[in-house]
Structure 1
Amino acid sequence: MSRIDEPVPGEPDSAAGAAGCWLHGVAREVDPATLAGGTGMDGGPLRAVPAAGLVAVVSTAPLAEYGEEALRRNLEDLAWLERAARTHHEVVAALSRTGAVVPTRLATVYRDERGVARLLAERRADLAATLDRLAGRTEWGVKGYVVPGLPARATAPVGAEGAGAAYLRRRRAELSCRDEGQRAAAQAGAAVHDALAGYAAAARRHAPQDRRLSGAPTAMVLNGAYLVDVAGLDGFTALVAALARRHAELRLELTGPWPAYSFAQDDPPRPALTVREPAW
């Protein structure tokens, strides 16, 4: 099992100037240019921690902001959370552009580099196997949104049943039409996921996002993640386009490539970041 979410307890948050190591991800090797071009959680440089034939990328995490007590407060602050998640994601994304990387969950902080090196030594076999599985592949997301149909129309004349009764019947028909449309979209979402999962090297179906998070005007019925061979990307995007034409009740949105957040662990992870950047 490759989960890097068991940090060594840090120093007390109140210790003046105390700092830990924020762990971004693990790779087999890291391009020095990637480290030089990146920015850590404190705005400072990234650092490589080599051990057991692997390399962890870390940055300084002042415990006044990233210690256990401080994190408990800050994770309730959506603006702070967005900034931290985006900084972490930018480092992981830069690493993934040069090779396979096992990204860590948000807010994985170790006491010092010795704790990070110990992690690499203790879990080398699992981490190496995960890196082998991710090599030459990237994660792509496909979201499916309901395309609303036309509301049902009343067929009986108003005079035959009264304006109030006609309104209630028409309203029931509209609600029935909406519910049927959502059921059809949900079935189409399942069919789309099955088709994409059959093409991809691996697939995950995450819980649909709330409209307030997705920013979409209609309900999401598919929130899929797919691990795709780089060599097979053209075929995957063509399949998404074909499925979009086949299922008019869905609006499909393809996003990526992403670091393999959904496939770096054995259990479905909780998404740490939402960035709306559709590929087409």
Structure 2
Amino acid sequence: MTERGPELSGDTIYVFAVCRRPDPSVVVGLPGVTDEAPVRSLPLGALTAIVQSVRASDFTDEVWQARLSDQWELERYARAHHDVVAAVAACCPTVPLPMATLYHGEDRTREALAKETDRFDAALKRIARHAEWGVKVYAPPCPRDDTVRTAPRRVTPTERSRPAPGAGLAYLNRKRGAQERRERIQDEALRTAEEVDTEVRGLAAASRTLRPHVQPAGEHRVQVLNATYLVAEHRAGELALLTQTLRERTGAEIELSGPWVPYSFVGEV
């Protein structure tokens, strides 16, 4: 939906989100992605777009690619975009649009967004009075190789030159045992993750399983479930209670985060 390039000039419209019947005052004072124009509402028939006029020169392909490579600048834009979306979502169902969704002029903005009306309507109905919650499950740290170590005894020069009888086989058996314990712990963690996911999905209106995060260096726990759930607002208390019950029942480390704007459940718009 984004239009960017040499043809983008003059009155360029940055679109944050599409919603239904927002409180006009909710966008007052929001800085958005520029301090040169206010964030405002743009009527789209029964729907409303939340927009801001920006300078086209700030969003050419060259400038945007440079911004993507600047971590600080990218985070600044991401926070500014999310702050507007979150403020609007707090007062009405809201479909966030991807960062840097741009059109040339209000007429072109209305025309492009009108083509997606059915998809916006479906997404708004799906997320109305719902929020997104994240659930992460971690496997316990794998035990270190607890190979039996006994106090060394004095050995003769002759003994030093040859291994003790059966030493190699005993070492391999200990290593094999440690590997089997690690695999057993991992299997148990995966079964726990499946149990948690099944229980939470039973409470949620929709769910998505995401790629587990790679833990930072030095972090010994392993993430075995990274999922997000669309949960009705009136069931938030049930979700918190269920999560605590699952922690106590399984003994697993389970993280619950949210509520969030339901970015994961608005579809590709």
Residue 7 (structure 1) aligned to one of 2, 11, 25: 2
SS in 1 for 2:73: helix
* Shift of residue 188, structure 1, vs aligned partner: 1.5
Deviations 1:29-82 (A, max 9, x none): 222221113121113421111112110111234333322222223222222222
Could you tell which deviates more after superposition, 256-265 or 28-37? 28-37
Match of 1:232 among 235, 246, 263: 235
Partner of 1:257: 259
1:197, CA displacement in angstroms?
0.9
Count of aligned residue pairs for this structure pair = 257
Q: What is the distance in 2 between the residues matched to 1:78 and 1:193?
A: 33
Partner of 1:195: 199
- 1:169: how far off? 5.4
Are the aligned partners of 1:10 and 1:111 in contact in 2 as well (CA < 8 Å)? no
SS in 2 for 1:108: strand
Distance 2:69 2:183 in 1: 35
Identity of aligned residues (%): 32
The secondary structure found in structure 2 opposite 1:8 is coil
Counterpart mapping for 1:43-62 below 5 A: 43=35, 44-62=37-55
Residue 106 of structure 2 is aligned to residue 113 of structure 1: yes
Matched, 1:145 2:138: yes
SS of equivalent residue, structure 1 residue 91: helix
Residues 230-264 of structure 1, C-alpha deviations (whole Å, 9 max, x = no match): 1111111111111122222x311111111110100
Structure 2 vs 1, CA of residues 175 and 11 (structure 1 numbering), >3 Å: closer, same or farther?
same
Name the residue aligned to 2:185: 181
Alignment check: 8 A CA contact 1:28 1:55 kept: yes
**For residues 30 and 196 of structure 1, what CA distance do their matches in structure 2 show?**
31
Could you list the runs of 5+ residues in structure 1 that have no partner in the other structure? 1-5, 268-280
8 Å CA contact 1:206–1:224 kept in 2: the answer is yes
CA offset digits 1:81-109 (Å, max 9, x no partner): 22211111111111111111001122222
Give the deviation of 1:172 after TM superposition.
Answer: 4.9
Counterpart among 75, 91, 97 of residue 98 in structure 1: 91
* TM-score, with length taken from structure 2: 0.83
Distance 1:164 1:34 in 2: 72
| Distance across 1 between alignment mates of 2:12 and 2:173 | 64
TM-score, length-normalised on structure 1? 0.80
CA distance in 2, matches of 1:246, 1:66: 52
Task: Supply the RMSD in Å over aligned alpha carbons.
Answer: 2.9
User: Structure 2: where are the runs of 5+ without partners?
Assistant: 153-163
State the secondary structure of the residue aligned to 1:262: helix
**24-33 vs 183-192, which moves further:** 183-192
Tell me if 1:246 matches 2:249: yes
- For 1:95-135, what per-residue CA distance to the aligned partner results, in whole angstroms no more than 9, with x for missing partners? 11111100112222222322221133222222122111211
Structure 2 CA distance for partners of 1:61 and 1:217, relative to 1, 3 Å: farther
Aligned to 2:75: 82
**SS of equivalent residue, structure 2 residue 98:** coil
* Whole-Å separation in 1 of the counterparts to 2:40 and 2:265: 25
SS at 1:29 equivalent: coil
What amino acid is aligned across from residue 208 of structure 2 in structure 1? Answer: R
Counterpart in 1 of 2:26?
34
